[in-house]
Structure 1
Amino acid sequence: MTRESSASPLIFGGDALSPRAALPVLPPLALYIHIPWCVRKCPYCDFNSHTASPVLPEEEYVDALLADLDQDLHAVYGRELSSIFFGGGTPSLFSADSLGRLLKGVEQRIPFASDIEITLEANPGTFEQDKFVAYRKLGINRLSIGIQSFQQEKLEALGRIHNGDEAVRAAGMARQAGFDNFNLDLMHGLPNQSLDDALTDLRTAIALKPTHLSWYQLTLEPNTVFWNQPPTLPEDDTLWDIQEAGQALLAEHGYVQYEVSAYALPGRPARHNLNYWSFGDFIGIGAGAHGKLSHPDGRIIRTWKTRLPKDYLNPAKSFKAGEKALGNDEMPFEFLMNALRLTEGVESRLYPERTGMTLESLAEGRREAEQSGLLQVEPSRLVATERGQLFLNDLLQKFLT
């Protein structure tokens, strides 16, 4: 397919044109692939997802994804992919044939690391044993299964298309299909949820023995049904009790909290997400996908792609909706809003390595954050205190200029 090579003009953030040190080494490179269709849009979801038609344009969309990737190749020549993440939407709506053609096309363009992690998001209502066996044979080696709850009343309130039994079966089918590494997505703070309800969900998930759990509180986001028609959510005291008891239960079963809402068995954190949180690079392809790429001369460019699937599939429109060069004044906040989500933070040396800026550029904000008890006084690391994790937005405000 043909595409316009032009895109929205480059937007320079702050003093982006000021000199910045060349990067001594480029960070790991990942690929995010957005597949924007779902069986049904959930009332809490603010992601770029759209209700699927009876027949999806799989062939056309794969063609578009590869053409989109071609336009980003000039910025990553000579590098290899450390991870790939299929997000959505519901990527498991696509056939194994379509995903196989896409993966083959990606590997022809960018070499895969020998130990590449390839994650596919899936929902229990889309599980078909033969399809998931075929996914595994393609080299997809990690699943992220969107459970949210095992309780019928809560699933109905969330607009989910599966029931609790299907959620339990999905985990078993994933293992039978050859996936020994999978995540379960689980929410808490659901409409009318009690402490016992939340812990029952968590115990059910733990019993399925996932290698990773994403366990996070439901929040009401703008441009969602829940934002306009808010459900009755638990009181703050109940939310706090759920958080404390849930974290204790996860720790008891060997799940280590390594990020604000991510828990993993030893050696099983999500490598794709770790790269994102440590200011690694990622290409974003697909409707509404975002990317971030570093250049040896110190430039760091964020990109975003055309959001609506019909526009993304229109040959007369550009894939790229816009791009922005990060300015020196933005860099502390941009780096730390990701790194400080990690419970152990990052080594201080990573800041100059990934941004081309000196640690001195953090000095004032760092001093204020340490004095406020939000950042640990630890020269070799950038890591939030327990209080800083709870009040992460307050902590990050110290680094806004």
Structure 2
Amino acid sequence: MTVLTLPPLSLYIHIPWCVRKCPYCDFNSHQADQTLPESDYVAALASDLDADAELAQGRKISTIFFGGGTPSLFSAQAIGQILDHAEATIGFAPDIEITLEANPGTFEQDKFSGFRAAGVNRLSIGIQSFADAQLQALGRIHDGAAAHKAVATARAAGFDNLNLDLMHGLPGQSRAAGMADLATAIDFAPEHISWYQLTIEPNTVFYSQPPTLPEEDTLADIQDEGHEKLEAAGYKRYEVSAYARGPRARHNINYWQFGDYLGIGAGAHGKITLPDSDTIVRQWKTRQPEHYLQAQRGPGRFANPFIAGREPIEPEARPLEFLLNALRLVEGCDPALYPRYTGRALKTLQPQWQALQTQGLLKPLTERIGTTELGLRFLNEVLGRYY
């Protein structure tokens, strides 16, 4: 039996409520009532983490990500309570990165200083666009002025590690409008920009009622010109849709390098290497918030009553699972991580790798597990060889 090396450990915390469900969103998010069950949910998160704590296996948490939903709907006090419990239960690495997603709604901006004081040291603001017409088409509750104010407020609150989340290829968006959005984001000089194309996902309003999106040629022009604009402004692309001229998103990098992560909260997923074994599992928590809140009141199929399901990542599935993440990184990753974290020899990536390398799509396997520039452009086709 191969005993796997334990990778770094991250923690994902899901807060599932939004003011309003966006028509493009396929995440586990739910429109909030006037009063959120904040204290009950914080207590449930604590119980959930307590039940999963043994899976840390002596590792400290290296990164935390509050996602949703809209985590910034919760009070700074609640966020602080969650962080205090996680630190007391598992412990934090000295240089821990703690990210919280926030929306630019003005009623949330007053909380930014409180989030910073609670221990959040990286803020990710869901701008999506600075143009009112595009924001309305996306069903967002904020306007361009609120987006501008949110960035200024975050800086005033002391955040020096800031990500702006921006989409392109939006309904009715021209090339010029797409570039104007990106130019505005760059002018704010955030440390990080997540810039990606709107995609229509199943189980969304946009899927059943498709909006009119820009033509393929316009989408390609926006992508190419935008990449050049970001590079010229000093933003280095290190992942398919991630650009940084400051700290990179360490939480996401842990995902992309096949690291471990605990997931707590309604519908949260986790990936864990089990102790003293060659077993890697994915597990997910009860999806509906009301069911999640009730889960701690009774036993379930698993030791952690919040778990809705668990399945192993079988050895034969690990090559694809690893590549689905690692090949998103522009620079790829160290080949030593593959046998260390999957228990599989590098040769299990052959012969597909050699064929793709010959076509100029992949780097030599002995140097990096990564694509060439051409391979990154045709990443779906590269991954298709491993399905």
Tell me the TM-score range normalised by the shorter chain.
Answer: over 0.9
Partner deviation per Cα, 1:245-296 (whole Å, 9 max, x = no partner):
0000000110000000000014x11010011101011000001100001134
Letter in 2 for 1:156: Q
Q: Return structure 1 stretches of 4+ with deviation > 3 angstroms.
A: 126-130
How many angstroms apart in 1 are the aligned matches of 2:42 and 2:108?
21
**What amino acid maps onto 2:382 in structure 1?**
L
Corresponding residue to 1:233 among 196, 205, 213: 213
Farther off after superposition, 370-379 or 53-62: 370-379
The reply to whether residue 109 of structure 1 matches residue 85 of structure 2 is no
Matches within 5 A, 1:37-186: 37-125=17-105, 128-186=108-166
- For residue 384 of structure 1, what is the aligned residue in structure 2? 371
Alpha-carbon deviation of 1:385? Answer: 1.7
Judge which range, 49-58 or 101-110, deviates more.
101-110
Q: Is the 8 A contact 1:129 1:177 kept in 2?
A: no
Shift of 1:342: 0.3
Out of 345, 359, 372, which is 1:372 matched to? 359
Note if contact 1:132-1:174 (Cα within 8 Å) is conserved in structure 2.
Answer: yes
Aligned to 1:276: 255
1:399: Cα distance to partner? 2.3
Kept in 2: contact 1:119–1:143 (CA 8 A)? yes
Q: Is 1:245 the equivalent of 2:225?
A: yes
| AA aligned opposite 2:291 | D
Letter in 2 for 1:342: L
Count of residues in correspondence between the two structures: 379
Deviations 1:173-210 (A, max 9, x none): 00100100010000000011111000000000111111
Identity %: 58
Change (3 A) 1:274 1:245: same
Between stretches 256-265 and 317-326, larger displacement belongs to: 317-326
What one-letter code is carried by the residue in structure 2 that aligns with 1:73? A
Q: Report the Cα distance in structure 1 between the residues aligned to 2:365 and 2:288, rounded to whole angstroms.
A: 45
Cα distance in 2, alignment partners of residues 126 and 360 from structure 1: 54
Q: Which whole-Å CA distance do the structure 1 matches of 2:309 and 2:359 have between them?
A: 38
- The 2-side partners of 1:374 and 1:305 are apart by 38
**Structure 1, unaligned runs of 5 or more:** 1-18
Asked whether the 8 Å contact 1:292–1:301 carries over to 2, the reply is yes
Distance 1:174 1:127, change over 3 A: farther
Structure 2 unaligned residues grouped into runs of 5+: none
- Give the deviation of 1:357 after TM superposition: 1.2
The one-letter code sitting in structure 2 at the alignment partner of 1:149 is S
Give the stretch that moved more between structures: 361-370 or 106-115. Answer: 361-370
3-state SS of paired residue (1:381): coil
Give how far 1:129 is off.
Answer: 4.6
Greater displacement, 124-133 / 380-389: 124-133
Give the match's secondary structure for 2:341. helix
The answer to whether the 8 Å contact 2:26/2:203 transfers is yes
Q: Is the 8 A contact 1:119 1:144 kept in 2?
A: yes
Q: Which has the higher contact order (CA 8 A, sep 6+)?
A: 1
User: Is the CA contact (8 Å cut-off) linking 2:100 and 2:122 kept in structure 1?
Assistant: yes
Shift of 1:26: 1.2
Q: Residue 201 in 1 paired to residue 188 in 2? A: no
State the distance in 2 between where 1:53 and 1:205 align. 32
Give yes or no for contact 2:77–2:118 (8 Å, CA) kept in 1: no
Equivalent position amino acid for 1:349 in 2: A
Aligned Cα RMSD in Å? 1.2
Q: How far is 1:80 from its partner? A: 0.1
* Farther-moved stretch of structure 1 (334-343 vs 73-82): 73-82
Deviation of 1:60 after TM superposition, in Å, equals 0.5
